[in-house]
Structure 1
Amino acid sequence: MQQEKASEKPAKKGFLNSINHFRGIAIIFIVMAHCYRPAGWEIETFADKAWFNLMMNGTVFFVFISGFLFHHVFYHRWDYEKYMRNKTKYVFVPYLILSLPWIIWHLTAGNSPDLHGQYASIEDVTSAATWYVVTGRALTAYWYIPMGMMLFALSPWVMDLIKKKSLLTVAIPLFVVAMIIHRPISNLNAIQSLFYFLPVYLFGVWSSENRDKLFPFIDKFWGLMLLAAVALAIGQAHFFGAGVLNKGAFELTVPDLMLPQKILLTLVLLALLNKFEHIQVGFLQKLADVSFAIYFIHPWITTPWWMIYDSPDLAGLAGKGNILTTLVVTMIVIAISYAIALIFKKLLDKKSRYIIGW
């Protein structure tokens, strides 16, 4: 894959280079969250924990962009039936197709881990298979699709909030709720995930609607926002440890500092990327174009890896990794996923959307 040089080109009408570049960055963060084990990174030191907190929960970027594009692309040509039909064909159908081999494996040969066996009275094959589909547990990262489909289904309500100018009125209390309930244990509860990410989505919608006001503001204060985000990552490392603090929705514990941290980083990235709106960065443009295919494909690489090697030592990295080795492994996984996506596209043309979402 030959990397294109950044070039100054006029953007298409209505097309935002900054948001497209953000999509490319978001998929890097999402894949990174699944590559630290293969990179041999054991999160032990205080610095490791702070870096880890800045790296994890990149799904917030993905959800924010989804909300932003919902308003930017669909608001003025709204057709709920067509919208849901396309989401079903190009998101849910690939999810089912790519999950099926792993569901069959879990229900037949897979005994480590026997995931569905942990949950109440899932004994017959139909119920167990349904459990995998509803939770997205067949593969790492696939939990997002059940939650995402519910988010898409709520779009008429979101349209109503836009018309009533009530996006922030609803989003701000939901942010408080999200910081209390956290993400669910093992990301198995799609409804809890929905409540966690819904305010992010609504904030993305609001940001698109109010872009002319928001962008000058963040352009002025992005430096302070970056300092605040780093402070939250360090504070979490010091007081609460590293990573997403998954828990039961009604279990009372410490507040989730990662959500406001990622919102601040979202605004920082928006401000920086907007400074280069007139430039097309070929590498990020290509990642953005194939981002959903990379999302669907990369767990086929990372999941077997960590299932076979609890602490992989394929390159002598076990216990010697860090944020840099994680980034290197991430780019290797992305490159392989990208190449696989191109093969599917070459063989199936437009029909590849039904398998890999691209």
Structure 2
Amino acid sequence: MAPRTARASTPALELCGLSKTFTLGAGLFKRGRTLGAVSDVSLRIPRGQVMGLVGESGCGKSTLAKMLLGLTTPSDGDVLVDGKPLRGANQKALARHIQPIFQDPYSSLNPRKRIAQIVGLPLQVHGIGTSRERAARVAETLDVVGLPRRAADQFPGQLSGGQRQRVAIARALIMRPDIVICDEPTSALDVSVQAQILNLLLDLKAEFGLTYLFISHDLAVVEHLVDRVAVMYLGRIVEEGTREQIFGSPRHPYTRALLDSALTPEPGLGVPDIGLGDAMPDPSDPPSGCAFHPRCPKAQALCRQTRPRLEDIQGDNARVACHFA
């Protein structure tokens, strides 16, 4: 297996003002409410890099992933894959470039199919190779992800959680994609198995020149894997920077709160108080001004009145949406 060659100067994946709104509670005589799940998200992921996307549950991370996979149509904006717009692209053609790895390897695998059928199905759907050639590529891919060839004849229920996630990775790689969307790929696994899967993902990235969007709420996992981090709050990116910038000197109060929320291994200290107070606001009725201001310990009058723009930090190759960054 070898990575596709492409123009190095063009980002592998680029999000341009991407937005997605849903209408809730609409009926025959009822207008309904508008929920902005994702709002004006712009990101560039260079080829061969890993972009981490972090934020609380409900902030829009999974909706963003569905748009990138072509499973949900954006309300506005576009996605560029190797410089070409995704909107209107053929789903089969898209699948040759972007593949997902989902959170729960058991629910994402058909329990009635053998592993060889699961991993080889994309080749069959796309009409790639003869049955003998497909079998050979399945065997090769199982080797790549560290599974014994005898696993090809087994069912998902006969494998451990870590082995099932390796099957999911093999299924994603069988099409030799350029980009892999990893949506919480280790959260359902034991800690010891998580480390094995993360190291495997890093090895595969280096070997095949893959580009990852790694979505997770686990900051320790993100810090281990990514090159850059984007922090999402209530559907918007509030900070973006290198791994060192985000984990070493975060500029947005929400980013600082996320880092402070990490549980300590010391017994007896319990859950840290990070000073955020109330839960995330209702996305269908967002606060005025900066959406984070009701929970921000440093909010001022300007924050309640004017939403800050996501602006470049001069000389730092980073962006932040805060009036007082």
Q: Tell me the TM-score normalized by structure 1.
A: 0.24
Q: Tell me the TM-score normalized by structure 2.
A: 0.26
Query: Which of 1 and 2 has higher RCO (CA within 8 Å, sep 6+)?
Result: 1
Q: Radius of gyration: which is bigger?
A: 2
Larger strand fraction of residues: 2
Larger helix fraction of residues: 1
